[in-house]
Chains A and B, each alone.
Chain A
Amino acid sequence: MKERTVFLWSTVLLLCTTIVGGYLTLFYYSQAQSYKSDYESLSKELVGISMRVNVKLDYGNGTVMWFNSTRVPMNATVLTVSKMDLDVKYSVSDLGAFVTSINGINGDSHHYWAWNYYEKSSKAWVLGPVGSDKWVLHDGDFVAWTYTVFYF
């Protein structure tokens, strides 16, 4: 009889915890759905005024990171998207912005941060011809930062 009572009350307590768990699951699921729906509708609104670009970060030691589909405003430059995805430090001169450090890795007398863009026609990475703040991106562009050794 006592065993039955213990079993009964244990079941009741478990039922309570199940209800709490169910409540939390339902609540957070509905919140996630709501945020997803908000995100999707906002993304639709942003299509006309923004674009997506992809950024590659190559530390030069075999470590490569990708930041795909970063949404940036129209007419954003390489520097704009780099500042959104990475911790970038740079100096500005008449030639444009020169990036001196990315994610705490500084350039030195033997290394510097070079940026490249992916040329779809030739299917090759091309060294950026101007400062990263001068190169205007287009939707779907790929750009890369590479920790490069000076060759003199």
Chain B
Amino acid sequence: MKSTRQISVIAVMTAACVATNYMLIGLTNVKFMDLIVFVSGLAFGATVGSSVGALTWLVYGTLNPYGFSLPILFATSLGETIYGLAGASFGKLGLMNNAGLVKSQMLTDGLKFAAIGFLLTFIYDLLTNIASALSFGLPLIPVLVAGIPFALLHEVSNAAFFFLGVTPLLSMIKKLPESGLRQEMKST
């Protein structure tokens, strides 16, 4: 992907993440951000995916009504890149090649994406909860246990969003000639 187009895609996807985050600010741990970051990685590769994840948190974590904490910002920015990197890895494995194109496979594709979303969110929650405990000097196990309802909400909501959202988002991106995805997919 050419760098100008890459920067544009990063900017647009980051803006989408930040906008939906503020839109859903009242709903703790229910966000479209992870889905968008994952799809960014899946469609455009590791650089775009991880950049969207990190940049989104740099904006959202700094200008956040719930407060600012540098260690947590670092952990969340780093953690969010997991979605982008995982998306890119699955893209390389060919997970996106036929996603949404075969109607009979839409349910199984959705279930696969839901499972991926769930597990990635589990890793992300684990990392950020550990970072929170360490940065505030709190005992690890009680912090992890206290975070279970929030983690569960995050993971289940992300599984639902990944189940419903990955395939339509990918299809829409593929339809955009500006994305350069068709040409790239043909060339790879």
Q: Which of B108, B115, B151 contacts A23 (CB 8 A)?
A: B151
Proximity string of chain A (1-35) to chain B, C-beta cutoff 8 Å, 1 when within and 0 when not: 00000000100110110011001101100100000
Instruction: Report B-chain residues with C-beta under 8 Å of the C-beta of A9.
Output: 108, 111-112, 115
Contacts A9-B111, A9-B112, A13-B111: A27 and B149 contacting too (C-beta < 8 A)?
yes
Contacts A20-B152, A23-B151, A23-B152: A12 and B145 contacting too (C-beta < 8 A)?
no
Q: Which residue of A lies closest to B148 (CB)?
A: A27
B148 near A26 with CB under 8 A, answer yes
Q: Which of B108, B145, B159 contacts A16 (CB 8 A)?
A: B159
| Cα-based distance from A13 to B155 in the complex (angstroms) | 13
Residue of B116, B145, B152 most packed against chain A (CB within 10 A): B145
| Cα-based distance from A135 to B119 in the complex (angstroms) | 64
Confirm or deny: B60 has a beta carbon within 8 angstroms of a beta carbon on chain A.
no
| Cα-based distance from A36 to B108 in the complex (angstroms) | 44
Q: Which of A15, A19, A27 contacts B145 (CB 8 A)?
A: A27
A12 near B115 with CB under 8 A, answer yes
Q: Which residue of A lies closest to B144 (CB)?
A: A26
Number of A-B contacts (CB under 8 A): 34
User: Which label, helix, strand, loop or mixed, suits the secondary structure of the B interface?
Assistant: helix
Q: Which of A15, A26, A27 contacts B119 (CB 8 A)?
A: A15
Interface residue tally on B, bucketed by range: 10 to 19
Instruction: Report B116 CB to chain A, min CB distance, Å.
Output: 8
A30 near B119 with CB under 8 A, answer no
Contacts A9-B111, A9-B115: A19 and B149 contacting too (C-beta < 8 A)?
no
B151-166 interface with A by 8 A CB criterion: 151-152, 155-156, 159
Q: Which residue of A lies closest to B149 (CB)?
A: A27
B122-164 interface with A by 8 A CB criterion: 122, 145, 148-149, 151-152, 155-156, 159
Instruction: Report B-chain residues with C-beta under 8 Å of the C-beta of A30.
Output: 145
A16 near B115 with CB under 8 A, answer yes
Instruction: Report A106 CB to chain B, min CB distance, Å.
Output: 49
| Cα-based distance from A13 to B148 in the complex (angstroms) | 19
Instruction: Report B121 CB to chain A, min CB distance, Å.
Output: 10
| Cα-based distance from A13 to B27 in the complex (angstroms) | 26
Instruction: Report B-chain residues with C-beta under 8 Å of the C-beta of A24.
Output: 152
Instruction: Report B35 CB to chain A, min CB distance, Å.
Output: 16
| Cα-based distance from A16 to B155 in the complex (angstroms) | 10
Instruction: Report A-chain residues with C-beta under 8 Å of the C-beta of B32.
Output: none
Residue of A9, A13, A16, A30 most packed against chain B (CB within 10 A): A16
Instruction: Report A-chain residues with C-beta under 8 Å of the C-beta of B108.
Output: 9
Instruction: Report A-chain residues with C-beta under 8 Å of the C-beta of B145.
Output: 26-27, 30
- Further 10 A-B residue pairs, CB within 8 A, beyond A19-B122, A20-B156: A9-B115, A12-B115, A12-B119, A20-B155, A26-B145, A27-B145, A27-B148, A27-B149, A27-B152, A30-B145
